[in-house]
């Protein structure tokens, strides 16, 4: 691969993932849970949400919509495996404060709403509402660049994945 082709990756060699929620984009290392912070599940980013809806960050397929509504795993059309986890330890809510809008196996487009959640109610119950967004097959890519330290709207670019 030549110098210029390394600088100017073609669209099929990189993939843009957008924020699944409005809020502040922070480094995954700021998530107060070692499974996410130490990138055990993969590289990624986290959103401190200000809204109450999670949207698809790309075109793809829902691999697994958790019954409890606290998380969703997607596979992008280009093969990126993405876990979006709403809050920490929120599986313990057993679905309370979450409403799934899609099901496992559904095809989705970037920006489609996936889950609605009651952020304030979750926080009032003592749960951290941060949303880790993890690339579970990170090792399949040469680079994963994230945009952190700023407020984002759902649909803003937060991750660039390069083959």
Residues taking part in catalysis? 85
Strands 71-76 and 157-162, bridge-based pairing: unpaired
Q: Which of 128, 149, 110, 133 is nearest to 42 (CA)?
A: 133
* Bridge partners, 49 (sequence order): 23
| Residue carrying structure tokens 């952190």 | 148
Sign of CA dihedral 127, 110, 25, 140: positive
For residue 134, how many C-alpha atoms fall within 13 Å in the half-sphere facing its CB?
A: 23
- Cα of first residue to Cα of last residue in the chain, in angstroms, is 13
């Amino acid at each position: 691969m030549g110098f210029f082709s390394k600088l100017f990756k073609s669209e099929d060699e990189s993939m843009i993932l957008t924020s699944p929620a409005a809020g502040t984009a922070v480094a995954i290392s700021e998530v107060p849970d070692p499974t996410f912070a130490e990138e055990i599940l993969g590289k990624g980013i986290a959103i401190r949400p200000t809204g109450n809806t999670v949207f698809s960050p790309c075109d793809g397929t829902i691999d697994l919509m958790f019954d409890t509504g606290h998380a969703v795993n997607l596979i992008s059309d280009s093969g990126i495996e993405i876990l979006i986890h709403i809050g920490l330890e929120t599986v313990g809510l057993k679905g309370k404060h979450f409403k799934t809008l899609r099901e496992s196996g559904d095809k989705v487009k970037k920006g489609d709403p996936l889950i609605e959640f009651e952020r304030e109610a979750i926080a009032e119950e003592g749960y951290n509402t941060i949303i880790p967004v993890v690339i579970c097959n990170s090792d399949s890519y040469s680079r994963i660049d994230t945009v952190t330290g700023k407020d984002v709207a759902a649909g803003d670019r937060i991750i660039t994945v390069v083959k």
